[in-house]
Amino acid sequence: MQRVIVDMDEVMADTMGGMLEWYTKEYGLPVDYSKMVGAWAPGFPEQHRATVIERLYSEGFFRHLPVMENCVEVLEEVNKKYELFIVSAATEFPNSLRDKLEWLNEHFPYLTWRQLVLCGDKRLVAGDYMFDDHTRNLVHFPGKPYLYSTIMNAHENGYDRVANWKEIADILL
């Protein structure tokens, strides 16, 4: 059975959407998406960049993120056809570990605990397909890598891209 590796943040979970919703409620200032090359923080007003980064490290931020459209349904079908693992570099944000586990259990009850990999470096994973929004996670992947398009990776080249879960379904199902 072929193995599929899927990242969480900005692939399954709308992390940027969650951050923007919080930022708009708190500050109501515009963000500059053109400055979000490789990271979000430069796109936020300078006086709030440290606060935005702090938010990523705060307990509860990752727990209540919106799910990407069609993700639940597509992954449920992928799970029937492939060996599926959800892999997140969660140890970068230590408070996210429980948040992410609870989020996954709520939204993806068909996944077992054995399919959830919360790690630091994704070079340890192998499979046939990987969907991730960071090229640093794809560059060493031995299977077929797909870059999930986001604002911060728009400048990246050299990878086949997917823009949404319907495109992933077209590839895998």
- Provide the pLDDT for residue 56: 92
The DSSP symbol for 134 reads: -
The full set of domain ranges for the chain reads: 3-14+64-172, 15-61
The DSSP code sequence of 27-95 is: T-----GGG-SS-SGGGS-GGGHHHHHHHHHSTTTGGGPPBPTTHHHHHHHHHHHSEEEEEE-GGGSTT
Express each pLDDT in 156-173 by its tens digit.
999 999 999 999 999 999
- Provide the pLDDT for residue 130: 98
> 100, 90 in Cβ contact below 8 A?
yes
Entry pTM: 0.95
> 88, 8 in Cβ contact below 8 A?
yes
Identify the active-site residue in 9, 14, 132, 133: 9
Higher pLDDT, residue 111 or 37: 111
Residue 53 region by backbone torsions, left for phi larger than 0, else alpha for psi between -120 and 50, else beta: alpha
Pairwise CA distance, residues 57 & 144, whole Å: 31
Active site includes 9? Answer: yes
Cβ atoms within 10 Å of 134's Cβ, excluding its own = 20
Nearest 5°: phi and psi at 158? 95, 5
> Distances from the Cα of 121 to the Cαs of 26, 36, 70, 88, 134, in angstroms?
33, 23, 27, 9, 12
> 149, 168 in Cβ contact below 8 A?
no
Express each pLDDT in 15-72 by its tens digit.
999 999 999 999 999 999 999 988 888 999 999 999 999 999 999 999 999 999 999 9
Identify the active-site residue in 7, 14, 132, 133: 7
Sign of the C-alpha dihedral, residues 19, 131, 78, 169? positive
Active site includes 121? Answer: no
Q: Which homologous superfamily does the CATH classification assign to the domain defined by 3-14+64-172? A: HAD superfamily/HAD-like (3.40.50.1000)
> Which of 90, 162, 154, 156 minimizes the C-alpha distance to 130?
162
Beta bridge partners of 161: 147
Q: How confident is the model at residue 140 (pLDDT cuts 50, 70, 90)?
A: very high
The per-residue pLDDT of the chain, averaged, comes to 95
